[in-house]
């Protein structure tokens, strides 16, 4: 349940809980909260747990330069650390910072690792259900592993032929392809969820985690079928944050381990992982000459330059996009 916000002690004046409360009041994504808190904590530890108010711009510079010089941190990672610390000072503490003089990490362009179509299908065939279906959606719709595992029953729209990805990276919603070849598997999976939900409801644990705002707005939705996770965990468990017994989704570590084993068993000699299926989705569509702007939308990229990293493409209209799973 790593993707469920931890509770904050009411009225706490400690620095980190106060920053958490401030972030949530801003309505920022929980993933952003986790990232910012991680880097703020590292910054505080680096300076021997001194309060940030006791530190100056030169202390920020020394920490960020340390990341680049001593830890060989990537430019993107250093930028995230900078954003987190600047947020803590400017937004939370209302302390304006002067221009920072830091050693910048070098940006090294990386070409994404991708599977061939046959490699992707071979690896998928070696993953046991129900994780196999989650991986098929990752390749067939360009989903990140957590986007696949967080899917609810209602996010599968058979009529429109789309998957609705909610609160993806950057807390953005998007629509992507629903592979027609997976229709029967998805229908069977939803029937499994329905039976499991009925069993849980009879035991009084049929509720599911809901984001706070939705939990307040729709108090009965947590017990409805459409809000159940498409890939429920094997067992119900106690949510340590609320002491509530309920069934969460499959843990991403479970899927990652199965995929890693499948890659080894298939003897695919590439530095591949779950995310390779997402790269392969975009690359496959580009190879088939689909319009890059359409692929950008399906991938949920804010900037088309992020999509262009896969390859240069001669565009054609975005209508009639065929999922790689349907080939």
Q: Are residues 81 and 158 in the same domain?
A: no
Q: Are residues 127 and 261 in the same domain?
A: yes
Token match 């986790």: residue? 34
Q: Which helix (H) or strand (E) holds 175?
A: strand 174-177
Q: What CATH number should be reported for the domain holding residue 35?
A: 1.10.150.130
Pairwise CA distance, residues 191 & 193, whole Å: 5
Cβ neighbours of 261 (radius 10 Å) = 14
Q: Are residues 87 and 32 in the same domain?
A: yes
> Do the domain assignments include residue 2?
no
Q: What CATH number should be reported for the domain holding residue 268?
A: 1.10.443.10
User: Contact, 298 vs 309, CB < 8 A?
Assistant: no
Q: Are residues 164 and 291 in the same domain?
A: yes
pTM of the model: 0.77
Cis peptide, bond prior to residue 205, ω within 30 of zero: no
**How many Å from the N-terminal Cα to the C-terminal Cα in the chain?**
35
Q: What is the DSSP letter of 90?
A: I
> Do the domain assignments include residue 79?
yes
Residue in 233, 269, 23, 217 with CA at minimum distance from that of residue 130 = 233
Pairwise CA distance, residues 200 & 270, whole Å: 41
> 243 phi and psi, to 5 degrees?
65, 20
β-sheet bridge partners, residue 177: 162
Q: Are residues 175 and 77 in the same domain?
A: no
> Do the domain assignments include residue 107?
no
User: Contact, 173 vs 148, CB < 8 A?
Assistant: no
> Do the domain assignments include residue 327?
no
pLDDT score at 212: 65
User: Contact, 154 vs 208, CB < 8 A?
Assistant: no
pLDDT score at 318: 43
Return the active site residues. 144, 169, 275, 278, 301, 310
Q: Are residues 123 and 76 in the same domain?
A: no
Counted domains in the chain:
2
Q: Are residues 147 and 227 in the same domain?
A: yes
| Tens digit of pLDDT at every position of the chain (327 positions) | 566 677 777 778 899 999 999 998 887 888 889 999 999 999 999 999 999 999 999 999 999 999 989 888 888 899 999 999 999 999 999 999 888 888 887 776 677 889 999 999 999 999 999 999 999 999 999 999 999 999 999 999 999 999 999 877 777 889 999 999 999 999 999 999 999 999 999 988 888 888 767 777 878 888 899 999 999 999 888 776 667 888 899 999 999 999 999 999 999 999 999 999 999 999 999 888 888 888 888 988 888 787 777 754 333 334 456 788 887
Q: Are residues 127 and 244 in the same domain?
A: yes
> Do the domain assignments include residue 303?
yes
Q: Are residues 179 and 84 in the same domain?
A: no
Q: Are residues 60 and 180 in the same domain?
A: no
Pairwise CA distance, residues 277 & 299, whole Å: 12
Structural domain boundaries enclosing 44 = 15-92
> Do the domain assignments include residue 100?
no
Look at residues 50, 75, 92 and tell me which one is the last residue of a structural domain: 92
> 163 phi and psi, to 5 degrees?
-105, 130
Q: Are residues 197 and 59 in the same domain?
A: no
User: Can you tell me whether residue 237 is helix, strand or coil?
Assistant: strand
> Do the domain assignments include residue 77?
yes
> Do the domain assignments include residue 109?
no
Q: Are residues 156 and 234 in the same domain?
A: yes
């Amino acid at each position: 349940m790593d993707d469920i916000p931890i509770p904050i002690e009411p009225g706490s004046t400690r620095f980190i809980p106060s920053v958490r409360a401030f972030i949530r009041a801003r309505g920022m994504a929980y993933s952003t909260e986790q990232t910012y808190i991680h880097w703020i904590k590292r910054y505080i530890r680096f300076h021997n747990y001194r309060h940030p108010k006791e530190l100056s711009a030169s202390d920020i510079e020394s920490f960020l330069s340390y990341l680049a010089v001593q830890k060989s941190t990537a430019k993107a990672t250093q930028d995230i650390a900078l954003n987190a610390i600047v947020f803590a000072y400017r937004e939370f503490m209302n302390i304006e910072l002067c221009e920072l003089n830091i050693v910048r990490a070098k940006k090294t362009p990386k070409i994404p690792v991708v599977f061939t179509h046959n490699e992707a299908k071979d690896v998928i065939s070696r993953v046991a259900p129900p994780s196999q279906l989650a991986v098929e959606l990752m390749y067939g719709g360009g989903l990140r592993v957590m986007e696949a595992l967080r899917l609810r029953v209602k996010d599968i729209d058979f009529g429109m032929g789309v998957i609705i990805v909610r609160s993806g990276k950057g807390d953005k919603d998007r629509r992507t392809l629903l592979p027609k070849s997976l229709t029967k598997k998805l229908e069977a999976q939803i029937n499994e969820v329905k039976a499991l939900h009925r069993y849980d409801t009879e035991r009084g644990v049929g509720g599911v985690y809901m984001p706070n705002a939705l939990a307040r707005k729709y108090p009965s939705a947590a017990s409805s079928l459409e809000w159940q996770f498409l890939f429920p965990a094997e067992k119900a468990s106690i949510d340590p944050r609320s002491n509530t017994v309920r069934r969460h989704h499959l843990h991403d570590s479970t899927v990652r381990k199965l995929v890693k084993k499948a890659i080894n068993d298939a003897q695919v000699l590439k530095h591949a992982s779950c995310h390779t299926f997402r790269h392969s989705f975009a690359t496959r569509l580009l190879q088939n000459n689909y319009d890059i702007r359409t692929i950008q939308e399906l991938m949920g990229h804010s900037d088309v330059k992020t999509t262009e990293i896969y390859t240069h493409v001669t565009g054609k209209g975005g209508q009639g996009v065929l999922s790689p799973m349907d080939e």
